[in-house]
Amino acid sequence: MGRDYGASSEALLPREHSPFFVPASQRSRNDLAWTISWVVMYVLSVGAGLYAFLNRNVDFLSQLTPTYLNDPSNCPAKPPLAKKRSLLSLLTSEDPDSPMQMDEFLSHSLIWLIASLVGAVVIGTVFVYMVTKSPRLLVWLSIGVQVGLPLGAGTSVLMQGGGASSLPFLFLAALLMLTFWMWRSQLQLVIQFLGVSGHGLSDNLGLVGAVLGLQVGLLVLLVPLLVSIMAAVINGKVVLNPERSLESGSQCVDVQGQDVFCCAWQTEPYVAPLIALIIFTLSWTSFIGAEVRTFTVAGTIAQWYFAPAVTESNKTARSGRVGRSLVAALGPSFGSLCFGGLVLTIVNILRNIMEQLRKKAESNIFMYCLFIITQYIFTLIELVTKFATVRLAITGEAFLVASRNVGDLLKRNFLDAFGVWWFPPMILNMSALVISAIWSLSIYSFSAAAWSGLVQGHQYAVALATISFILSAIVLSFFTSLLLNIIDSVFICFAMDRDMHQCSRLEVHEVYSQLPTVGPVVENPDGAYAYAAPARQHAMP
């Protein structure tokens, strides 16, 4: 039995070859200057962190305790005369009167935590299976839950005599039903998008391990930067608290008479610019990791999409797709990915600046309009950057060239279809949220019943359910982002095919040809397949 894409079951013959995908061995090294720039920034940041660590205040932990900071004789800082309770002990020690004891919680919940982690992985696997085999069920299940929750809540409140209190829930349910009904044709198309995405992932399962490996590699790169920030923070000394006004007995107070610490921690003057440098590098490195991930997924999917029919049965050719994409990402195209990561970093910084300005000038209508305009521009830049990364994964172009070419491609193929393009992330993310919530509620029910004899059994069950929700949400978020990357990659492959009037993978074209402005697939006299002009409405004479 074939996969359910939610579309027609009629099969079309694929082309035997496509000229689009460029192997890594045939690509030139582009944007090398940006690779060098990132390496220099990374080395400088780690070096600055090492300098900060070597010059740190070795008494930091003992000086940054409430006991030490509340002693006015320690301003300016002096070495502690007696052993003080350290910051580490404050974080790790337990209050015997606390309503929840960590040791007891871990002793009772260790097996449950392991089961929750295993269950989260199983849920993620089932989620991908549903997307692959029956995306229609997943979509309508998600819609049913979204409508059913407020409807059920409103009905429950109404039956209990809530009256007007039930109206917001019922209104929300009615609004959701109306929205989904108005967009029912687009939802049918989304079902088919998800089916294609699941098909692409099931045929390239090596992507799961590769992307996990990339995440681990990114974490390894980020750890020295995070440690460098921590090392920078502990370069300083204890000084007189600027908010302190006078002493009232043994306690210091401010001008309003409120209790404050007598002393405060003051970092060295060079710490602020040093931290700014490290945070910029950390952000850039994180976005490079995201770019490498997008590139790897796109390159793998492009090889699958443009593969000649004869290679589909070649297991060796299929298994090498991910490796070839990684080689290209970390080799000739790495400079372009550094460039793309820098663009996203700058956009993120500017977005945060505009957000801060908006908060400071909430009543300024000009600033509010400027904020809306800049958010639109930032979103457009991020969109073009994402699709440019997909294109350069296919063609090996430089970043600016890929951005220009993909911009033209999107004008011809994407902007008129934007109305349906925001549905896949909404459906997948909402499905992940609902599934995670159901899983955590199940864990809570079973654990609460098992720990009913414990004094703090309810608190333990709530904590376990929260951890289970977070674990399942992380796992499902990983798979949803991977599926969305595949949808974007397949669309660019389809658009490039369409521009050349070709059909490299016709079962995909059967789905994507339903987008606006796309004409039907026709067979030419020579036996090849191409797109006819889209049908137009003509006025009656």
User: Which is it for strands 263-267 and 259-260: parallel, antiparallel or unpaired?
Assistant: unpaired
- pLDDT score for 501: 76
Neighbours of 158 (CB within 10 A): 16
- pLDDT score for 344: 97
- pLDDT score for 153: 85
Beta strand extents in 171-242 (DSSP E only): 236-240
**What string of DSSP letters covers 496-533?**
HHHHTT--SSHHHHHHHTTSTTPPPEEE-TTS-EEEPP
Query: Between 117 and 405, where is the model more confident?
Result: 405
Whether the bond between 76 and the residue before it is cis, its omega within 30 degrees of 0, is yes
Q: Is the pLDDT of residue 181 over 80?
A: yes
Please state the domain extents for the chain: 104-133+183-227+271-518
**Token pair of 116, please?**
């929750």
Helix pair angle (206-233, 32-54), 10° resolution: 40
Q: What is the mean pLDDT of residues 95-124?
A: 70
Mean predicted lDDT score pLDDT of the chain: 79
**Token pair of 344, please?**
């996203």
CA angle at 6 for the pair 5 and 12, rounded to the nearest 5°? 60
**Token pair of 128, please?**
């991908």
**Token pair of 95, please?**
């209050």
Q: Is the pLDDT of residue 164 over 50?
A: yes
70-79, 108-117, 368-377: which range is least confident on average? 70-79
Alpha carbon distance 205, 196 (integer Å): 14
- pLDDT score for 240: 79
Span 408-434, pLDDT tens digits: 887 776 644 554 567 788 788 888 888
